[in-house]
Structure 1
Amino acid sequence: MLESKDVVVVPESTQSLPLFPFFCAPSLSLLLLLLSYAETNRVHTSTLTKPSLIHPTAAVHPDAVIGQGVSIGPFCSVGSSAKLGNGCRLYPGSHVSGSTELGDNCTLMTGAVVGDDYPGRTVIGSNNSIGYHAVIGVKPQDLKYKQEDECFLEVGDNNDIREHTSIHRSSKSTDRTVIGNGNLIMGSCHIAHDCKIGNNNIFANNTLLAGHVEVEDNVHTAGATVVHQFCHIGSYSFLGGGSVVTQDVPTYVMVAGERAELRGLNLVGLTRCGFSSAEIRNLRTAYRNLFMRVDANAGSLEERIAEVELHEELGHVPAVRAMLQSIRNSFAENRRGICKIRHWNAS
């Protein structure tokens, strides 16, 4: 995919033409003009099926690997160790540096920065969009990090990373910052070093994840959510706007508030994700037994978990068991426990 180094440099006489519309549908005569210009300037163009087109003001290192059909706009830069997959588009003023690889059909909007020249590597999958002035794959904001250490970022496929978002590499060579597939990361979000993000999550504007946070799949945060370092966010959970999450969020639940509290199940999210009415009914019963008991014999949380596990009906429901296991895991060694439980009374 990345072996082709065929490029066409746009002649100075065409600089006044709109860049990307011009790239998309050049006339035959204009294409011949470009190919003639490239041959005169000794640009390799042996594969003519889908040449890459580079604006003359762009700084593309001759050692960079450029796939077919790549469009590189004015005032962009591509470093010597960079690899751009087929069909990538770099809008004006975007930059790819360091040991960085972009998969096929990635788009960098104006001002986007991907990678840096520090030791390590940034790998971006296919079909990702990186928004205006986003900064992806730079060194971590961790005082323990030493500049001679390698640091890494791996991003999957089909992610929409919006404007002014920052995603940092790992803080040490033995770890990775990882982003999965199909995530929507809205404007001005921050994902710090060593975070692990799953698939199909939605982070609303100004969601801030500190270092080593783990987010599973199908999680939705509302705006201005803050997550403390080393927290775990379970699948299908919802974090309310302005929440400050300092402990783990179990699978399927909803939290909100300054020092976020459990506020019930994420019923809207579960319904939208295709959970059946029977599954949701069983989860609601289990949640009430775990967190809404008001009788004097309710026992400790551990005792209530065990009681639900042994329930003749609830104990055999996979979704219920997943929620119970998520809660248990949060009390393992080096974990932070779950968010505060709202206290209920009988009145």
Structure 2
Amino acid sequence: MSLIKHGTRSSFSSSLRSFLLFHPRLFSYVADEKKVYASNSIIHPSAIVHPNAVLGEGVSVGPFCSISSSAKLGSGCQLYPGSHIFGNTELGDNCMLMTGAVVGDDYPGYTVIGSNNTIGYHAVIGVKCQDLKYKPEDECFLEVGHNNDIREHTSIHRSSKSTDRTVIGDGNLIMGACHIAHDCKIGNNNIFANNTLLAGHVEVEDYVHTAGATVIHQFCHLGSFSFLGGGSVVSHDVPKYMMVAGDRAELRGLNLVGLTRRGFSIEEIRSLKTAYRKIFICADITAASFDERLAQVEQHEGMIQVPAVRAMLQSIRDSFAEDRRGICKYRHWNGS
């Protein structure tokens, strides 16, 4: 069985494997008398691997890497030169740490990363938070799902306290130089463009797309299938399916391109557009308050039967709960 499953990145591992073919004693790295790593693990002689670390089948550890005593690596993981795993950290199968990546922290708590994740060049994942309320003796946590592509220079921090967690779901693309702060909850299949910055306690649902240099205030919620324009400063919630832009970000309509790409039907999109117009675009803004317009749509027998419309209305309502920040501002367009 080949140790390298990613053909485009095989040059480093192939060279390392060729080197080890002439140094067979390195194939079985004896940590101590009672422990032998898997016979097909490849550990460069300059790497520092603690004897208590647990390595799965086919792990490749490049030059000048380090792995802590509490680390657990699944099968097929690859550590490129100069990458490091600290503290109580667990990697699932087939994870890849590019050069300079740092995962985990020696502070109390843990970092758990699922399978098939790529940690980019010089990314820093699972270290202590930047919250002044943090106490070094507290256990803090980061949990990352599967199939995430976390690009270069990204930072993702553990929670700020033992009663919470920072959570990243599955299938997310987190581009270069992004920051995800303590206690954030990120769903699945999101795309964060370069320099997207999330403050603490931000919640992101699924299929959210941010353009570059987007900044999200702490405790904001981003609803599924929403789009945040480049350079936006988001200080309030973004409801499901909506598009915002600006400083401070304002609602700019529905994310029609994103909805179409994700397979929403023509009828669903038409119903969402009708509901959006009735709530946010009114020829006479003095005719009814925002709450009254929202209630009128909720009581409309035709629109309320559409699940997407119900989801959007619930997302708006949830944003006005006691502990929430309300939705982004919207322009008072007239109907002409």
Q: Aligning the two structures, in what range does the TM-score lie when normalised by the shorter sequence?
A: over 0.9
| 1:160-215, Cα deviation, whole Å (9 max, x unpaired) | 00000000000000000000000000000000000000000000000000000000
Number of the residue aligned with 2:194: 205
Mapped to 1, the partners of 2:312 and 2:266 lie a distance apart of 17
**C-alpha distance 239-281 of structure 1, shift in aligned 2 (>3 A):** same
TM-score in terms of structure 1 length = 0.89
Q: CA RMSD, aligned part only?
A: 2.0
Aligned 1:1-347 pairs, distance under 5 A: 19-23=12-16, 26=18, 31=21, 34-35=24-25, 38=28, 48=39, 51-295=40-284, 298-345=287-334
Q: 1:238, 1:309 → 2: CA distance?
A: 24
Q: Residue 255 of structure 1: SS of its match in structure 2?
A: strand
Partner Cα distance (2:155, 2:29) in 1: 40
Residues 318-346 of structure 1, C-alpha deviations (whole Å, 9 max, x = no match) = 00000000000000011000000112135
Write the deviation string for residues 301-330 of structure 1: whole angstroms up to 9, x where unpaired: 211111111112101110000000000000
> CA offsets per residue over residues 215-267 of structure 1, 9 Å max, x none?
00000000000000000000000000000000000000000000000000000
TM-score by length of 2: 0.92
- Distance between the aligned counterparts of 2:74 and 2:246, measured in 1? 43
Amino acid at match of 1:329: D
Aligned equivalents of 1:257, 1:80: Cα separation in 2: 47
Q: CA 1:156/1:289 → structure 2, altered by over 3 Å: closer, same or farther?
A: same
User: How many Å apart are 1:22 and its aligned residue?
Assistant: 3.3
Amino acid aligned to 1:323: M
How many Å separate the matches in 2 of 1:184 and 1:36?
36
**What do the CA deviations read for 1:41-86 (whole angstroms, capped 9, x no partner)?**
97855854xx111000001000000111000000000001011110
Q: 2:31 and 2:205 mapped to 1: Cα distance?
A: 51
Shift of 1:40: 9.2
Q: Which residue of 2 aligns with 1:14?
A: none
Helix, strand or coil: the match of 2:300?
Answer: coil
Amino acid at match of 1:166: S
2:7 is matched with none
Counterpart-to-counterpart distance in 2, 1:189 and 1:37: 37
The residue type equivalent to 2:64 in the other structure is: F
Alpha-carbon separation, structure 2, partners of 1:40 and 1:248: 54
**1:20 is matched by which residue type in structure 2?**
S
**Cα separation, 2, equivalents of 1:150 and 1:200:** 28
Rg comparison, structure with higher value: 1
CA separation of 1:148 and 1:284: change in aligned 2, threshold 3 A? same
Letter in 1 for 2:294: I
SS of the residue 1:269 aligns to: helix
Does the residue aligned with 2:279 lie in a helix, a strand or coil? Answer: helix
Stretches of structure 2 that go unaligned for 5 or more consecutive residues are 1-10
- Report the number of matched residues: 325
Q: 1:149 to 1:346 in 2, by over 3 A?
A: same
CA contact (8 A) 1:206 1:223 kept: yes
Question: What secondary structure, in the 3-state scheme, does the structure 2 residue paired with 1:259 have?
Answer: coil
Residues 70 and 88 of structure 1 are in contact (CA less than 8 Å); yes or no, is this contact kept in structure 2?
yes
> For residue 326 of structure 1, what is the amino acid of its counterpart?
S
- Structure 1: how far apart are the matches of 2:65 and 2:196? 29
Shift, 1:37, TM fit: 7.5
